Chain A
Amino acid sequence: MKTNNAFIMYDPLSISFSILELGGTLDQKKDKLTGLFSPDRATTPLILRPQLKVIDPEGILTSKTQSADFTSSLFNHRWFANDERILSTTPGYTLGNNGELVVAVNAEPGTPINLKYCWNFTDARTHKVFGGEQVVSLVSIAVSDLNLSLKLDAALIIPISPFKNLTTRVINATFRNGETDIADSDAHYEWQVQVPSGDSKVYRAITTDDIFYVSGQGTKSLTIDRRYIDKEFIMLEAYHVAESTRQEYARTKLYRDYGLWEDKMIFLTGRYIRYNTKSVEIQTTIETPKGNIANPSKYFNIEYFYKTEAPGDVFKSIGYGEALSMPRNKIGYDPNVRPVWGIEVKPFSALRATTINGKAATINGKVLCIQKPL
């Protein structure tokens, strides 16, 4: 008997595989400020539903031209999250029928989750098994909704009066996102001061080495000691910790200001010098619109001068302070040569650090300060 084989042939199936996304998308946004995801899969999970469409060109399994859904014929479903097999016990994922996966996991920005689905399908005509796999990625981007504003409770220029009883002055900042104050824990503050740098000026962080600084660096309230302020440009840098590249700045200029004042010299004794006058005593007062300054020599350099009306005589400095006493024997006795006293009053600068070779001099760990007449 002679035999010969025949071959049973089928044209290949035309297969289209896809993964449908229901109830969400592969992409998410995460608000940097609130930490909220949009959409939040923990509340409304994403459903990934495999779909297999087949066209049999010979019209045995399907019509020749219309595809038919063979999703229910898929088998051996396997899902992997970043190459880790997803099991029924894997938190955040629920395995459903026909390879469906319900995802209740949010992807952190910069940490995508690659979900791989592996499947098999049997061609009922040939009983051959074939399979495939598809990867989808869950990605998230960090976004922020910032409408920042930074204000100081101080004018652009603040005169600092040395006469105030309080030695300190507090500058408060208000840092807002829209209409909402930013919590201290969400804000970064750095108070800076302008300093010379070569031919220009730069701002640097205020430190405990700045003698005007009392407290508040790193917070929204800076406390300064007004006694050490001559002229300082202060700047506050602030940003939301969720967006450190978006700094806001607020500036103010502090300067020592004596306001309106007038010096007056009065004779305590000796306005009329008689034979028994033992001395002439002169006092200087400083008047302001708010009254006389107590202890004027604390704020002013008061220098006294003396001369007579004798031809050629010139003023000579005879002392400093709030009051001066001059003995009678230094004044003379000729009624035709009248004595004349004068005062020169100059406001003191702020207390400034004494430097030696550019470094502040200290005594017992405390900076040595001086004031000079301006």
Chain B
Amino acid sequence: MITKPNYYLVPKNVADAIGLSEYRQEFNGKYLLSDFDINSYGRDKAMAQGAEIVSTEQAAELMNSINN
């Protein structure tokens, strides 16, 4: 069974800590990371530091907003 991946908009300090701020898209000061990206950092820890869950559809919309 496949489940839709979730994404997160995380503050810069979290993206820096994970080492992905250079590689992930920034939206208004937050970086779009995947479930996979924040696994090692800890989802709860990231949420406590201001990460927001973004659905697959919302992530696609965000990416489209910069691609169009």
Q: Contact residues of A with B, CB < 8 Å?
A: 22-25, 29, 31, 34, 36, 38-40, 42-45, 47, 102, 143-145
Contact = CB atoms under 8 A, between A and B. Distances in A.
Given A29-B2, A42-B63, A143-B2, 4 more contacts: A24-B36, A25-B36, A39-B5, A145-B3
A171 B48 CA distance: 55
A23 B23 contact: yes
Given A36-B4, A143-B2, A144-B2, A47 B60 contact: no
B7 A43 contact: yes
A187 B36 CA distance: 33
Contacts of B53: none
B32 A39 contact: no
A31 B56 CA distance: 13
Interface residues of B, number: 21
Interface in B22-68: 23-25, 32-37, 56, 59-60, 63
B2 A44 contact: no
B12 to A, nearest CB: 16
A38 B23 contact: no
A314 B1 CA distance: 78
29 contacts: A23-B20, A23-B36, A23-B37, A24-B34, A24-B36, A25-B36, A29-B2, A31-B2, A31-B4, A34-B4, A36-B4, A36-B5, A38-B4, A38-B5, A39-B5, A39-B34, A39-B36, A42-B63, A43-B32, A43-B59, A43-B60, A44-B24, A44-B32, A44-B33, A44-B34, A44-B36, A44-B37, A47-B23, A145-B3
Contacts of B34: 23-24, 39-40, 43-44
A36 B19 contact: no
A23 B36 CA distance: 7
Nearest to B1: A145
A34 B57 CA distance: 11
B21 to A, nearest CB: 11
